[in-house]
Structure 1
Amino acid sequence: MSRIAYPYLRPASSTVDAQPWRLLLGEEEVELPESLDGWDYNLDLRLRREVQVDGEAIREQCRLPAGAPLALSVVWYSTGSGLRGRSAFERLDGRGYATHHLDLTIAGAEVGGVLSIDTLLVVPEALAEVDALAPHRAGSMLWEHRSEIRLQGGASQFPIAVVDFGPSTLPDTAAWHLEVSGSMDSAAMGSLLLLVNERNKAVAEAFSRAGKPRQADSLVLSAVYADVARTMVEHALSREDFVDDANYGEETLGALMLDVFRQMFGARTIKDVRLRMQDSPSLMATEMQAAVGIFGGDS
């Protein structure tokens, strides 16, 4: 197993004791699971953890001055959206052993797929006149811990934005619109955006209650998801690089399109379905409607 050789001293792992991340789900607080079923992009992720740091021992072991600054930072990366960000940063001014509370919220609209959360202990600013082996550059990493969670569920698996279609180029009486951009190798969550027209109260309210929909909301959401699936398949079939023997990377637009295609058409080949769409587009539209089980029908 490969190990990273750092060009400076690092403290013993015993100088930092990090408790597991806790995930807040409404009034409930649970240890961060490996996967979160039933998640959708309307749900922001609220997390917290405690980290005990022995600042005095760290400075001594790394040959840093007694008052050298340290900081805890939390950064995340999402395979689904290709986005990354920093959600917490706390300077550690105390010199002794202290407990630090990290609380963060990650916007659900910015993530998808596997979410990696890195907790880091760093030197936050450049230091002058220190020992040659001491970590003196800004950002020097003294300790790190990675947690991961896979975000998955039956709700929409790409970003959703509720906007006013009036000022846009979209028809102001339309209820929703799926934007698809990028190549088949692009990050899936960065290539798809479902726009919901806030002027359509039935649809906008259905999405606001997507986590706990009423019967009427479920019917609206079923219609939207069916149309989204149809749009994605039609977009994929219109591209020459969407073929049976293609090898798309994990979490890419091509992989997502292929997954939707397989759910709708099973073992049928892309070539066969593309020809069927060219020969009989109306029948193909009906077959796709049946495949997605619109309004709760069997798929």
Structure 2
Amino acid sequence: MTRIALPYLTPDPQLIEASDWLLTLQGEEVPLPEHLDVWDYNLDLCVRRLVTVDADAVRKQCALPPDAPLAMSVVWHARGSGLRARAALVEVGEAKPELELALTIPGSRVSGTLAIDTLLILPRAVAHLDPIAPRRAGSVLWRSRSTLRLQGDGSQFPIALADFTQSSLPSAAGWHLEIDGPLDAAAMGSILLLVNSRHKVVARAFASAGKPRPTDKLVLSAVYSDVARTLVEHALTRDDFVDETEFADESLGALLRDVFAQMFSGRSIRDVRLRAKDSPTFVATEVQASAGIFGGVA
């Protein structure tokens, strides 16, 4: 485990007490899990925790003046999307207050592994009274990180609504998958699923993805099968998509390999590529079967 040596005093971690994060799912709070199997892009993540800070003791151990400002900050970072944001900032007022940190992380902005950092910081600069005391705004005095792996039936790349009549895409199409870039590029920057906002059936299905109706489930199943087929076909056209290659986490290559493994469990890329050259339509039908379109065979 790597330790970071800061150039200023930091407090004893026992002076800060933090409860576990609680996640709201279907109206109920549950401890934040390591994996979230039910997540999709339409599900915003609502989390909260309680933090108690012995502010006077923190200031004393850090050689700060009695009136030095302190604040709890929460910052999230999604490895899959590469996006990060500060979601909360609460100033520490009383000597030993209990603070509630509550935030909502938009599901449309995250994927892959989500890291949530809780930080005790100096929100503003303070007079430099001691050469080893923290003084700059944003100085981190204490940090706690929690991680959540997002997975499930929802796609792990961006989805955007677009009016196809205002583009070169066929106006009657329901969706379109864009793929571009090298296999070592970030997946979130290489893939975009466009949903036609003018196609009422498809747009409504995506808007209801968190709680889909039977019709919505059929539409989403068709999209999932078509996206999987498109990704597999794109992967097989790439000469650098081979069995021996190791792809970095959250890269386009890693995503394509994951989809390939789901569609062709236990089979090699070489074997499927040869099959596709001989009978591409059969491979497309294999993907349809593996994707379980419309629920598969009863």
- Residue number in structure 1 paired with 2:195: 196
Matched ranges for 1:7-156 at <5 A: 7-92=7-92, 94-156=93-155
Query: Which residue identity is paired with 2:294?
Result: F
Residue deviations 1:58-94 (CA, integer Å, cap 9, x gap): 11111111111212111111122222221111223x2
1:211-243 Cα deviation digits (max 9, x unpaired): 232222221111110000011011111212111
For residue 97 of structure 1, give the secondary structure of its aligned residue in structure 2. coil
2:172 maps to a residue whose letter is: T
Partner in structure 2 of residue 284 of structure 1: 283
Q: 1:283 to 1:95 in 2, by over 3 A?
A: closer
SS of equivalent to 2:184: coil
Point out the more displaced range, 204-213 or 41-50. 204-213
Letter in 2 for 1:235: H
Q: Counterparts of 1:152 and 1:283 in 2: how far apart (Å)?
A: 29
Q: Which residue of 2 aligns with 1:233?
A: 232
Whole-angstrom distance in 2 between the partners of 1:20 and 1:291 = 38
Identity value in percent: 60
Instruction: Give the partner amino acid of 2:16.
Output: V
Q: Compute the TM-score of the two structures, normalised by the length of structure 1.
A: 0.93
Letter in 1 for 2:115: S
**1:108, 1:191 → 2: CA distance?**
18
- Aligned partner letter, 2:237: S
Alignment root-mean-square deviation, CA = 1.9
> Contact (CA 8 Å) 1:66, 1:95: kept in 2 or not?
no
Gaps of 5+ in 1: none
**Could you give the per-residue CA deviations for residues 250-275 of structure 1, whole angstroms, max 9, x where no partner exists?**
22211111111122223332223223
Bigger CA drift: 28-37 or 158-167?
158-167
1:273 aligns with 2:272: yes
d(CA) in 2 for partners of 1:63 and 1:28?
43
Q: What is the CA deviation profile of residues 34-76 of structure 1, one whole-angstrom value per residue up to 9, with x for unaligned ones?
A: 2212110000111111111122111111111111121211111
The CA deviation at 1:203 is 1.0
Q: Aligned-pair distance for 1:201?
A: 1.1
Instruction: Tell me if the contact between 1:67 and 1:95 (Cα under 8 Å) persists in the aligned partners.
Output: no
Q: Is the 8 Å Cα contact of residues 116 and 149 (structure 1) preserved in structure 2? A: yes
- Contact 1:118–1:145 at 8 Å: present in 2 too? yes
Amino acid at match of 1:7: P
Q: Which amino acid aligns with 1:55?
A: A
Number of residue pairs matched by the alignment? 298
List, as ranges, runs of 4+ consecutive aligned residues in structure 1 with deviation greater than 3 Å.
none
Whether contact under 8 Å (1:121, 1:141) holds in the other structure is yes
Q: Which amino acid aligns with 2:272?
A: V
User: Which amino acid is the alignment partner of residue 75 of structure 1?
Assistant: V
Matched to 2:162, the amino acid is V
- How far apart are 1:156 and its partner, in Å? 2.6
One-letter amino acid of the counterpart of residue 85, structure 2: G
Partner Cα distance (1:126, 1:240) in 2: 54
- Counterpart check, 1:250 vs 2:284: no
Give the SS at the match of 2:17.
strand
The one-letter code of the counterpart of 1:290 is A
Shift of 1:289: 2.1
Greater shift, 54-63 or 163-172, is seen at 163-172
CA distance in 1, matches of 2:128, 2:154: 55
Structure 2 unmatched runs, 5+ = none
